[in-house]
Amino acid sequence: MLFTIDVGNTHTVTGLFDGDTLVGQWRLKSDPDRPNDELAIRYHALFSMADINKADIDGVILASVVPALESSWIAYINTYFSKHLTNPPLVVSAESISSQIKILTDYPEEVGADRLVNAIAAWEQYRQNLIIIDFGTAITFDCVSAKCEYLGGTILPGIAISLDALSTRTAKLPRIDVTTPPPHVIGTNTVDAMKSGILFGYGALIDGLTEKIHKELCPNREPMRVLATGGMAHLIAPFSKRIEAVDTLLTLRGLNLLFHKQYDI
């Protein structure tokens, strides 16, 4: 089995694959101060609860955007998994996966590992011009050409950051739950006005920015697909006309795909 690890700024999402089948998935808060032994306690308990024998894990791939946690994860992997692995653990970076995608940004080493994984996973599925929108702590737009070239993208504050800013930086605006949409764009009370601003506002932002990117990515209006992923993608997708599909497992599936491509399994 393959242990896939996606370490984000807010959450760490992990999955266990048996071939192409996801047999276990967990989402925990990312804590930069968590030592490798504490990771062992947490995840070995999760494996046990899922009736999974750690000795059956013969591959590990890690994508991280949190350097402090990346070090802890590497130490955990080397300490507790090395005896069972048939291939070295794969830590995703622009350098380590350079054979899988051509990165055309000014500084390839600055591109987040998760963004590269998403780009490869989406291109392998569709093999055309793509925009991948990841709704995480930040919202990222990643642009991939039909020739599997990572071209760059945009980064903007995520939904949770915006909601936190509204409630903490203003005196009268409360914390709200946006899982239930407002009845109208024009809010007739504070909560509905805030919900409208977030849901309709981000939906319009996504569509407007996608249109501008489309003109640069496909100047002759070549075919292009727009995918969404990330923990909050399902909240905004209904308010966007340009998002064509939501794939919340894109990164985990991409890690599984990338590991097998890298080691030609």
Q: Average the pLDDT over 215-241 and give the result.
A: 94
In a domain, 96, yes or no: no
pLDDT of residue 107: 96
Number of structural domains the chain divides into: 2
114 labeled part of a ligand binding site = yes
Indicate the residue type of 132. Answer: I
Element (H, E) at 7: strand 2-7
pLDDT per residue as tens digits for the range 80-116: 998 889 999 999 999 999 999 999 999 999 999 999 9
The verdict on 84 and 189 lying in the same domain is no
pLDDT of residue 25: 95
The verdict on 51 and 160 lying in the same domain is no
pLDDT averaged over the chain? Answer: 94
- Is the per-residue pLDDT at 117 higher than 90? yes
- Going 107 to 108 to 109 to 115, the CA torsion angle's sign is positive
pLDDT per residue as tens digits for the range 142-188: 999 999 999 999 999 999 999 999 888 888 889 999 999 999 999 99
- Residue 125's alpha-carbon distances to 150, 207, 242, 253, in angstroms, are 15, 23, 19, 11
- Is the per-residue pLDDT at 194 higher than 80? yes
pLDDT of residue 202: 96
6 labeled part of a ligand binding site = yes
pTM of full prediction above 0.75: yes
The verdict on 86 and 107 lying in the same domain is no
In a domain, 226, yes or no: yes
The verdict on 175 and 51 lying in the same domain is no
214 labeled part of a ligand binding site = no
Question: Locate tokens 């932002």: which residue?
Answer: 205
Q: Average the pLDDT over 127-136 and give the result.
A: 96
Instruction: Point out the domain boundary residue: 35, 61, 91.
Output: 91
Across 8-81, where does the E strand assignment appear?
A: 11-18, 21-29, 59-64
Pairing mode of beta strands 21-29, 11-18: antiparallel
The verdict on 37 and 124 lying in the same domain is no
In a domain, 263, yes or no: no
Which contacts qualify for 49-53: CB closer than 8 Å, 24 or more apart?
50/16, 50/23, 50/24, 52/1, 52/16, 52/23, 52/24
91 labeled part of a ligand binding site = no
pLDDT of residue 84: 87
Interatomic CA distance for residues 206 and 66, integer angstroms: 26
pLDDT of residue 158: 93
11 labeled part of a ligand binding site = yes
- Is the per-residue pLDDT at 34 higher than 80? no
50's tokens? 């899922």
Instruction: Point out the domain boundary residue: 69, 91, 113.
Output: 91
In a domain, 180, yes or no: yes
The verdict on 109 and 84 lying in the same domain is no
- Is the per-residue pLDDT at 260 higher than 80? yes
In a domain, 265, yes or no: no
In a domain, 43, yes or no: yes
pLDDT of residue 41: 92
Percent of the chain with pLDDT over 90: 85
pLDDT of residue 231: 87
The verdict on 148 and 249 lying in the same domain is yes
CATH of the domain at 197: 3.30.420.40
Q: Average the pLDDT over 20-27 and give the result.
A: 94
The verdict on 83 and 128 lying in the same domain is no
Active-site amino acid positions: 114
Is the distance from CB of 150 to CB of 247 less than 8 angstroms? no
Neighbouring residues of 84: CB distance < 8 A, sequence distance ≥ 6: 54, 55, 56, 57, 58
264 labeled part of a ligand binding site = no
Full residue range of the structural domain in which residue 199 is found: 102-253
12 labeled part of a ligand binding site = yes
In a domain, 46, yes or no: yes
In a domain, 204, yes or no: yes
